[in-house]
Amino acid sequence: MRIGAIFPQTEIGNDPVAIRDWAQTAEGAGYDHILVFDHVLGAGLSTRPDWRGPYNSATPFHEVFVLYGFFAALTSRVELVTGVVILPQRQTALVAKQAASLDLLSGGRFRLGVGVGWNAVEYEGLNENFRDRGARIEEQIAVMRALWEEHAIDFKGRWHTLDNAGINPLPVQRPIPIWIGGTAEPVLERIGRIGDGWFPDRPADDEARATIERLRGYTERAGRAPDAVGIESRINLSRVREADAAAYLEGWRGLGATHISVNFMGAGFKTPQDHIDALRRVRELLPGA
């Protein structure tokens, strides 16, 4: 099982030196990958007194592709993962170009996690349709994979038309792995049919086991090997004690997970140095340290 660290987007602050030190510590401590969350816009609360979303306009988020361009130059081994880019609120060809450039500049260390998101305010501000995001993401994935494979493509779909057009340079990985987040049944079916991996976020319990069985069923029905889809769960230190992290990991290993990431946000760390110290401390508790 490959072990990752989730970049503490909402708590690390804006000091480039602290961000550099965090990324290099994650690599040096032996994490296999770094995972970042994505939000472009946050909803202001002054006109939304009943807002229930987990983030708002006061919550800081570094832009994922810019951040990973920075990390690509600062690291040499660790994989760079988005978990997840909210793909339908972004222009497809531009994301394909950004991902290809990042994959090239990092030496093939990029894994693109995508999802449909939940924040209609963000979609509105980016001039994209919130209501058809599930249908559009499938066509977006097809467009990106085609662009990563050939220097120029022809594509005619419901939302995309490319007439002998392409991106240059192409990525190292052709295609870049695409993992998908979400737990709704149509999302699981989509992952089984076209995804390279899935990001669940729950304990390794009977419900998780049943969900994985359904996912494997969708994968087989699509004519793929049942283990063709990787699984990356998450250890949230806001809910799991550091001392219990290894046991939590083993629970997911028992369900067939291929990856797991540690989320340090919400665990009471107050400074970048607190986060850096926790990186080292937790990695030593996990198998393979």
Cβ atoms 96, 103 nearer than 8 A: no
pLDDT of 190 > 90? The answer is yes
Burial 124-152 (b: 16+ CB within 10 A, else e): eeeebebeebeebbebbbebbbbbbeeee
Is residue 119 scored above 70 in pLDDT? yes
Q: Helix, strand, or coil here: 56?
A: coil
Strand, coil or helix: 214: helix
Domains of the chain listed by start with CATH number: 2-285 (3.20.20.30)
What is the pLDDT at residue 242?
98
288 — pLDDT class (breaks 50, 70, 90): confident
What local confidence, expressed as pLDDT, does residue 226 receive?
87
Q: Could you give the CA distance from residue 86 to residue 137 in angstroms, rounded to a whole number?
A: 9
Query: How many of the other CB atoms lie within 10 Å of CB of 210?
Result: 10
Measured in residues, the chain has a length of 289
Task: Dump pLDDT digits (tens) for 147-178.
Answer: 999 999 999 999 999 999 999 999 999 999 99
pLDDT at 180: 98
| Average confidence (pLDDT) over 4-24 | 98
Single pTM value for the model: 0.97
Enumerate the H helices of 178-287 as residue ranges: 185-194, 206-221, 245-254, 272-285
- The strand pairing partners of 259, in sequence order, are 2, 232
Give pLDDT, residue 214: 97
Q: How far apart are CA 287 and CA 103, in angstroms?
A: 28
Instruction: Kindly tell me the burial class for residue 185, based on how many C-beta atoms sit within 10 Å of its own C-beta (0-12, 13-18, 19 or more).
Output: exposed
How far apart, in Å, are the Cα atoms of 24 and each of 16, 34, 182, 276, 283? 12, 10, 30, 10, 14
Give the model's pLDDT for residue 198: 98
Q: What confidence score (pLDDT) does residue 289 get?
A: 56
Average pLDDT of every residue of the chain: 97
Look at strands 153-156 and 161-165 and give their pairing: antiparallel
The predicted-structure confidence for 120-151, as pLDDT tens digits, reads as follows: 999 999 999 999 999 999 999 999 999 999 99
CA atoms within 13 A on the CB side of 102: 26
Tokens of 239: 């809910």
Interval 214-237: pLDDT, tens: 999 999 999 999 899 999 999 999
DSSP bridge pairs for 79: 33
Share of the chain above pLDDT 70, in %: 100
Residue where the block lists tokens 């097809």: 142
Share of the chain above pLDDT 90, in %: 99
Cα angle for residues 16, 114, 178 (degrees, 5° grid): 105
Closest CA to 121 of 44, 64, 37, 52: 44
Q: What b/e readout covers 195-208, taking b as 16+ CB neighbours within 10 angstroms? A: bbbbbbeeebeeeb
